[in-house]
Amino acid sequence: MLLPEYYEFCCRVQLVAGHKALERIPALLADLGAKKPLIITDKGVAGAGLITIVTEAIKSGVTIGAIADNVPPDSDLKVVNELAGMYKQKECDSLIAVGGGSVMDTAKGVNIIVSENATDLMKFSGAGALKRVLKPLIAVPTTAGTGSEVTLVAVIKDHEKHIKMAFTSYFLLPNVSILDSRMTMTMPPFITSMTGMDALTHAVEAYYCLQKNPLSDSHAYAAIELISKNLLTAVKNPTDKDSRLAMAVGATLAGIAFSNSMVGMVHNLGHSTGSVCGVPHGICMSILLPYGLEYNMHKSEKFIAELLLPLAGPDVYSKTPGAKRAEKVVELIRKMNDDLYVATDKRHARCLKEVMDRDGKQMVPKEKLIEIAKAALSDPASAYNPEEADYDDNVMVLEAAWEGKPLDRTKIKKG
């Protein structure tokens, strides 16, 4: 177990997991002194029937203040203000967020406004602006996943002023996160594979990037084992509740790991690919993960090699010579992408040039790579990458990821 010279670790979110975890919500709210929640979600989640499952599970124990299902795919300040108004009007005393990253961020934004009686959310942006406990917030993630139910960050966009507000505070964390297998059961194969690889990337980057620490390591390690054992099953047999629960738990473990250990190049380039070309986050992660590993191999080989055990099991680990284990990890992740490509009827892209939108149009034209490389320089995720990456380095990695060819490691500038 590696003990860094200094580290910090915190996960104050209470976790409740199971096939009937939702039914615990009334008692959990009561413990927090609340009984009239505002349920925040989006149309996709509501349309999949998940809100009905939630309300059925909790209605005998609480009074549902209101259900708001108009959260857009990108968290929006206007919606945040609207929902805060609804909360006050219906005299709610708590929040339940049912959905993915955008719903979680919206709920966190609403919580700031209603708890601080704020008129201008901007005043609370940055780190350290919040000083006290907010209203009770229960997170019910419906993907496995972004891990945003355990992160202390919320990002809200002001589409009118074209600014992105970031809020960082321990007080933003939900009080409880409910991991119920029913909530991810309706995820179609393509979304399952994408969000699953997002979770895997969180865990892997948390394990080999600069801020790694003993607790983030043990969480990441457990996450990788759960995800590698269950992702393909969850994609091929969507109604298998055990693999759904395992994925939900794995994604949360990965979320806890990366929010305490930060991420690196894969997220750096991935965020930028998402913002420049609109590619969904999970797809960026799955494509770029093997490249992030290759780029950092000269600095982090030892740690990457250790991941072979949770990824592939003791048999493969013991049969692979020590010096080859890190490369094997990369190979296996590429294989996971290949398997998912097949299992999702070719919707899970394996390289950037393969990413298509719903109309079959290419989402990442080669000319856009230089724009992505430039945008990546402003993204803080590069700070914790083991190796420095400047514009030229980014271009090199993106070009390889576009073609789907392994990175030429001889060309990496080593610091």
Partner 1 sequence: MIFSDSFEFTCPIKTNSGKKALEQLPAELDALNAKKPLVITGKELVSKCVIKKFTKAFSDSGMTIGIFDGVPENPDWKLIDELKKAYSEKKYDSIIALGSGVIVEVAKVLNIAVSLNVDSRKIAKDPAVKRPLNPLVVVPTAAGSGLETSRFAHFQGTVFSSFYLMPALIILDPRMTRAESKEEMATAALAAFARSVEAYIAKSKNPLADAYAYAAIGFVAGNLATAVEKPCNKKSALAIANAVAMSGTAMSNTTAGLISNLGQVLVEMFQFPYGIGMGICLPHILAYYQKKGGYNIAQLLLPLSGPDLYAATPDSSKTDRALTIVGGMLRELYETVENKMPKTLKAAGVPQYMLADILEKLSLADDAAFDKEGYLTVIESAWEGKPVA
Partner 2 sequence: MSDLVKEVTAGGKPLKKAYVAIMLWFMGRAVQAAAKSDKEVKKEFEALPDDFTFALGVLPNGPWMVVGKEEGKVKYLGWNPDIKKLHLRLDVKGIESAILMFTFQESTTIAFMHNRVIANGELPYAMAFMRILDIVETYLLPKFIAKLAVKRYPTQWSFGRKYGGRVCVYTRALLGF
Contact of residue 382 among partner 2, partner 1, none (CB under 5-8 Å per partner type): partner 2
Q: Which helix (H) or strand (E) holds 66?
A: strand 66-68
Contacting positions for partner 1 (CB under 8 A): 1, 3-12, 14-21, 31, 128, 131-133, 170, 214-215, 217-219, 221-222, 225-226, 229, 245-246, 249, 253, 306, 309, 314-315, 317-318, 322
383 binds, among partner 1, partner 2, none (CB under 5 to 8 A by kind): partner 2
Q: Are the C-beta atoms of residues 281 and 215 closer than 8 Å to each other?
A: no
What does DSSP say about strands 137-141 and 94-99: parallel, antiparallel, or unpaired? parallel
179 phi-psi bin (left φ>0, alpha ψ -120 to 50, beta other)? beta
Nearer to partner 2, 132 or 414 (CB): 414
Amino acid at 45: V
Taking the C-alpha atoms of residue 411 and residue 393, their distance in angstroms, rounded to an integer, is: 9
Return the number of the residue (39 or 206) whose C-beta is nearest partner 2.
Answer: 206
Minimum CB separation from partner 1 for residue 128, in Å? 7
CA distance 313 to 287: 23
From the centroid of its chain, how far is CA 252?
A: 9
Query: What radius of gyration, in Å, describes the C-alpha atoms of the chain?
Result: 21
Smallest gap from Cβ 11 to partner 1, in A, equals: 6
Nearer to partner 2, 321 or 415 (CB): 415
- Provide the minimum distance between the beta carbon of 301 and partner 1 in the complex, in angstroms, as a whole number: 15
Q: 52 or 378: whose CB is closer to partner 2?
A: 378
C-beta pairs of 120-128 under 8 Å, 24+ apart in sequence? 121/77, 121/80, 121/81, 121/156, 121/165, 122/158, 122/165, 124/167, 125/165, 125/166, 125/167, 126/166, 126/167, 126/168, 127/168, 127/169, 128/168, 128/169
Binding site for partner 2 (CB under 8 A): 5-8, 126-128, 166, 210-211, 262, 377-380, 382-384, 387-388, 413, 415
Quote the least distance from Cβ 413 to partner 2, whole Å. Answer: 8
Task: Give the nearest distance from C-beta 415 to partner 2 in angstroms.
Answer: 3
CB under 5 to 8 A by kind: which of partner 2, partner 1, none does 232 bind?
none
- Given partner 1, partner 2, none, residue 412, with its beta carbon under 5 to 8 Å by kind, binds none
Nearer to partner 2 by Cβ, of 211 and 218: the residue is 211
| Residues listed for the chain | 415
Work out what residue 413 binds among partner 2, partner 1, none; the CB cut-off runs from 5 to 8 Å by kind. partner 2
Whole-angstrom distance, CA of residue 159 vs CA of residue 174: 25
Question: In 16-122, which ranges are continuous DSSP H helix?
Answer: 25-31, 43-47, 50-58, 77-89, 101-116
In the bound state with partner 1, the residue whose beta carbon lies nearer, of 225 and 387, is 225
State which residue, 30 or 127, has the beta carbon closest to partner 2.
127
354 binds, among partner 2, partner 1, none (CB under 5 to 8 A by kind): none
C-alpha span between 85 and 68 (Å, rounded): 11
What minimum distance in Å lies between the beta carbon of 6 and partner 2? 4
Min dist CB 127 to partner 2, Å, is: 5
Where do we find the tokens 């969850």? Answer: 234
User: Residue 19 or 298: which CB sits closer to partner 1?
Assistant: 19
Closest approach, Cβ 131 to partner 2, in A, equals 13
The listed partner (partner 2, partner 1, none) that binds 166, CB under 5 to 8 Å by sort, is: partner 2
Compute the least distance from the CB of residue 177 to partner 1, in Å: 10
CB of 218 or CB of 233, closer to partner 1: 218
Strand extents, DSSP E, 86-215: 94-99, 126-127, 137-141, 153-158, 163-168, 176-180
Token code pair at residue 122: 């901007």
* Amino acid sitting at position 378: S
